[in-house]
Structure 1
Amino acid sequence: MTLLRRNWPIGHADILIAMGGAFLAAAVLARVGARIGLPTIPLFILAGILLGPHTPGIVIVSDPHDMEMLSALGLVLLLFYLGLEFHMDDLKAGGRRMALAGGMYLALNIGAGLGFGFALGWGTSEALVLAGVLGISSSAIVTKVLVDTGRLGNPETRPILGIIVVEDIFLALYLAALQPVLSGASSLGAAVLDGGKAFAFLLLLALAARFGTRVVGRLVATKDDELLVISFLGAAVFVAGVSEWFGVADAIGAFMVGLMLGSTASGTRIRTLVHPLRDAFGAIFFFAFGLSIDPGDLPTVLWPVLAAVSLTLVMNVLAGLGAAQVYGFGAGPAANISTTLLARGEFALILATMAAAAGLDDRLSPFIAGYVLVLAVLGPLTASASGGWAGAPTGWVGSVHGRVRARRGWSRSSPRP
C-alpha cells in the first residue's frame, strides 16, 4: 500500500475517504430509517449536513465540490431509471392530458413564485429566480419517492411523470431565457438563439425516442450483462453531457435515453441491472445536496422560508386536484400527486449558484437553501403518509376533492365523464 500511495497525487486519499464515508453514512442512516419508518431521502440529506464543512464535529468532506461528479452521476442514473419506467406508449397516448396537467402545475407554481418574489421586494431579477425556485419540482426526489413508496405502477404515476417531463422541457427554455437577464446581456437575439438551440436539441431527442428505438435496441443488444451495463451507462452519461452543451439539463438527456432503451428488447434486463447503481449513486446525490447547506444561514430568512413553503403547499394541492380532474382520479391519487411533486431540489440549487454569480441579493442563497431543505424533508414524509390521510372521508384533500366533484354533479365512486 505504501508503494502504491507514493504515486498518488496529493489529496487522492482524502477524496477516497470522502467517497467511502459518504457511502457508509448513507448506508447506516438508511438502516436507521428503515427501522423507524422514515424515508431515506431526508436522512441522506441530514448525513451531508452533519458530516460536511458547515457543522461542528466530524467532517469527512471539507469541500462539497469533491462530490460533484458522483452527485451528477447520481442524478443521471435517477432520471435514466425514470425514463425506463415511462414508456413511449404512455407518452403518445397521454400527450394532451400530460401537457394540460403539466401546464397547470407550472402556471400555478411559477405564477405564485413570481408574485412571492415581487412581494418580498428584493428586486425584479430576484423575483424571476424565485419563480423558478418555487415553480419546479425536484426530478431526483420525485423519482426516489416513487421508488421508495412502491408507486411506480400506480395510475397516478403517469401524470406525475408527465408533469416532470413538462417541467424539464420548461426548465431548459427558462434557463436559456434567464441567463442573459442575470448576466445583464442586452441582446434579445442571444437569448432567442440559446432558447432555440435548447428547443432544437429537445426536439431531436424526442424524434430519436419516437423513431430510433429499433436501431438503438440493436446497438445495445447483447447476452453479456457486463457489456450491457457498459453500453447503457455510457449512453446515458454521454447524452447527458451533450445535453449540457446545448443548454438542456443533463437530467432530461438521461431521461430520454432511458425512454428509448426501456422500449427495447433489453429494457427489462436494463431495469434490473441499473437498480444497484441507481440506489448507490442516488444516495450520494442527496448526501452531496446536504453538504451545500449551511444551517447557520437559515435563521436570517426563517419567515420568508416558512411563507414560501406554505404557499407551495397550497399551490401543490390545487395543482394535484387539477391534475386529478384532468385524468378522472379520486382523492387518494390527487393527494399522491400533490405530495410527490412537493419537493424542490437540484434546479433550485442551480438557480442559487447563478444568482450568487450574478451578484443578486445576498439573502437569496440562504433562502433557497432553507426552502429546499424544508421541502426536501417534508415532501418525502408527506408522500409516504398521503395514502392514510388522503383517502379518509374526513381527510382534507378528500374533503376538498369531494366538494369539487359534488359541485360538478359527480359522485365519489363514479368515473369522470
Structure 2
Amino acid sequence: MGGAFLAAAVLARLGGRIGLPTIPLFILAGILLGPHTPGVVLLSDPHDLEMLSALGLVLLLFYLGLEFHIDDLKAGGRKMAVAGGTYLALNVGAGLGFGFALGWGTSEALVLAGVLGISSSAIVTKVLVDTGRLGNPETKPILGIIVVEDIFLALYLAALQPILSGADSLSAAVMDGGKAFGFLLLLALAARFGTRVVGKLFNTKDDELLVISFLGAAVFVAGVSEWFGVADAIGAFMVGLMLGSTSSGARILKLVHPLRDAFGAIFFFGFGLSIDPGDLPSVVWPVLAAVAVTLVMNVLAGLGAARVYGFGAGPAANIATTLLARGEFALILATMAAGAGLDERLSPFIAGYVLVLAVLGPLAAGRSAWLARVLPGGAGVCAGRGAGRGGGLTFRRRVRVRGGWSRSSPRPWVVVRLRAGGRFSRSSPRP
C-alpha cells in the first residue's frame, strides 16, 4: 500500500511538470507495478486492494454530494431528468447498436450498452476537482446526469443479472428493480426531509468525532445501498447531500478533503492493477471504433444538455468532455460477463476501452475550449485554457445591480470575466 501511494505520487509529480492530469498517471502506476507487466510487482492479486479502492470511490462520491446541495436537486429536477435521459438515450442506445454491429451475441450487446452508456462517477468527480469547475454553472447538470445514471444503473443491473445468469423469471427481475428503486426513494426522502435531524446528530465541536461520524455514515450507507442493489457510490452521494446542508457541512468538506485525495489515488491505482496490456492488441480496432462512437454521442449529449439549461458552446464542451470517461461500472460489467461465460473478447475489449477513455477524458476536459470553438455558436470562445482551471472566458452581459442576470435590462453593459472556480470579477465599475 505504501508503494502504491509513493508510485502514484512520483508519477503524478512528473506528469504535473508537463501539464498531465493525475488520473491517467495513477492508473499507469497500477499497470506498471501490477502482475501483468514485467519488473517490480507490488501486488500479485488486484483484489488485495479491493476494499481500499471501494473506500476511495465512496469518498469521491461523498465529497460530490457535499458540493451538490439539496436545493439544487429540488430546483433542477425536471431539467436534470431531461438532460440525464437524453444522455442515457444517446449513449446507451449507441452502445446497444454497437454491440449488435460487432456480432458477438445478444447478451454481449446488452453488456456493451451499459459499458458505453454510463460515465465513471469517480473520474468525473476528480476531473471537476482538478479543473476547478465545482463552482461553474454547468457543473449542476453534470452532477444531475450522474445522479440519473446511477438511478438507471440500479435498474439496469437488476434487469441484466437474470439475463446473464440464464434465469427466465421476470418477476425476480421486477422484484430486484423494485427493491433498488424503493431504497433510492427512501434515501431521497431522507435527504429532503431529514436534514435537520441529521444535523443535530452530527453537531459536535470535536473534529475527531466528526470525522469518525461522517466516515462511518458514508461507508455504512454505501454498504447497505449495495445490499439493496443500488450502487454503493450513490448511497455515499446521498449521505454527502444530507450532510452538506447541515451546519457542519463546511467543516466536513474541509476534513474529508485529504481522505478523498489519498484513497481516490488508491482507487485509480487499483483500477490500473486490473488491466492486462497483453490482451489489448486483439481488440484494438473495436476499441477505437467504440471510443469514436462515444466521442460523437457525448458531444451530442453535451449540446442537448446545454440547450436544456440555456448554456452556450463553452459549457456544452465542458459537459461533453467531463462526462467522457468510463471506469468502475464498466469493470464490474466485465467481471459479470466473464462469470457468465460470455464471449472471451469482451473482457479485454472493456479493459482497453476504459483505459483509453480514462486517459482521454481528463485530457479532453482540460482542453475543452478547443472543442467549444468548433461547436455551434462557439466562434467567439477564446483560445487557450479558457474552459479549464486558471483560464477565463470574457463575454458581455447586461446585469442588474439587484435581482440577478437579465439580458433585456436597459442598464449599462459591463465586461465580466468568468474564472474556473465560479468566481466573478468585474473589469468595469458597477452600473
* 1:366 counterpart (323, 348, 353): 348
Q: Is the 8 A contact 2:314 2:378 kept in 1?
A: no
* 2:256 counterpart (267, 274, 277): 274
Q: Which structure 1 residue ranges, 4+ long, deviate > 4 Å from structure 2?
A: 398-402, 412-417
1:174 aligned residue: 156
1:405 aligned residue: none
1:396 maps to 2:386:
no
Q: CA deviation at 1:33?
A: 2.1
1:87 aligned residue: 69
> 1:3-402 alignment to 2 at 5 Å?
19-387=1-369, 389-391=370-372, 395-398=373-376
Letter in 2 for 1:36: I
Deviations 1:69-126 (A, max 9, x none): 0000000000000000000000000000000000000000000000000000000000
Letter in 1 for 2:297: M
Q: Is the 8 A contact 1:330 1:401 kept in 2?
A: no
Q: Which runs of 5+ in 2 are unaligned?
A: 381-394, 398-405, 409-431
Distance 1:397 1:367 in 2: 30
Distance 1:416 1:116 in 2: 43
Letter in 2 for 1:110: V
Q: CA deviation at 1:144?
A: 0.1
Distance 2:243 2:322 in 1: 25
Distance 1:399 1:295 in 2: 41
Q: State, as a whole percentage, how many aligned pairs show the same letter.
A: 87
Distance 1:416 1:292 in 2: 52
Q: Which moved more, 1:251-260 or 1:32-41?
A: 32-41
Q: CA deviation at 1:385?
A: 1.0
Distance 2:172 2:2 in 1: 44
Distance 1:101 1:157 in 2: 12
Q: CA deviation at 1:399?
A: 5.6
Q: Which has the higher helix share?
A: 1
Q: CA deviation at 1:397?
A: 2.4
Matched length: 386
TM-score (norm 2): 0.88
Distance 2:127 2:313 in 1: 19
Deviations 1:137-174 (A, max 9, x none): 00000000000000000000000000000000000110
Letter in 1 for 2:375: V
Distance 2:229 2:345 in 1: 27
Q: Which runs of 5+ in 1 are unaligned?
A: 1-18, 403-411
Q: Is the 8 A contact 1:328 1:416 kept in 2?
A: no
Distance 1:357 1:175 in 2: 15
**Alignment RMSD:** 1.5
Q: Is the 8 A contact 1:229 1:270 kept in 2?
A: yes
Distance 1:276 1:398 in 2: 40
Q: CA deviation at 1:26?
A: 1.2
Letter in 2 for 1:30: A
Q: CA deviation at 1:400?
A: 7.4
Distance 2:207 2:132 in 1: 26
Q: 1:63 to 1:322 in 2, by over 3 A?
A: same
Q: Is the 8 A contact 1:84 1:262 kept in 2?
A: yes
1:3 aligned residue: none
